[in-house]
Amino acid sequence: MKVYVNRQPVEVLPGMTVRHALLAANLLDSLAEGKKPYDEWGHEVGLDGALTPEMKIHLK
C-alpha cells in the first residue's frame, strides 16, 4: 500500500508499521535527531503503529 512520509510516497506491505514507512523513506535516522512522527491531524504516532492506505506521516 502507499503511504506518505513528509509528502514522499512510499510503498509498504500490509502489516507494516510507521517504523517501516520511515525506513522506506530513508528517514528513520531522523528519530535520533529528536524528530517524532505525527499524523496529518497533528497527533504523535508510535513507531509500531499500524499504517492505513494513503496515511500521511510528518516528521518534526
Partner 1 sequence: MNRLRLFFWCLLLILWLAAPVQAGEAALRLLHINDFHGFAEPYQPLAAPELLGGMAALAGTVDRLRAERPTLLLAAGDMIQGNNWANLFQGKSSIELMNAMGFDAMVLGNHEFDFGQQVLTERIKEARFPVLGANVRGLGLIKPYVIKKVNGLRVAIIGVVTADTPTHTSPKNVAGLKFSPPAEAVANCLKELKGKADLVVVLSHIGYQEDRALAAQVPGIDVIVGGHSHTKVTTPERINQTVIVQAWEHGKVLGVLDLDLKDGKIVKYSGRLVEIKPGSGPVDAKVLEIVARYSQQVNALLDRPVGKTEVDLNGEQVRLRETNLGDLVADIMRRATGADVALLNGGTIRTSIRRGEIKAKDIYTVLPFDNYLVAIRMTGRQLKQALEHGVSGLPEGSGRFPQVSGLSFNCSRGAPPGSRVREVLVGGQPLQPGKVYVVATHDFLAAGGDGYRSFGEALKAGTGFRLLGGALTSKNLVYNNPGVWLRDLVIDYLKSRPAISPATEGRIKEVG
47 or 58: CB nearest partner 1: 47
Residues that bind partner 1 (CB under 8 A): 1, 10-16, 18, 20-21, 23-24, 26, 31-32, 34, 39, 41, 43-50, 52, 55
Please list the residues that pair with 3 across neighbouring strands: 10
Here the cell at position 28 is 528513520
For residue 23, the minimal CB distance to partner 1 (Å) is 5
- Distance (Å) of CA 20 to CA 6, 30, 45, 48, 53: 14, 13, 13, 9, 14
For residue 46, the minimal CB distance to partner 1 (Å) is 3
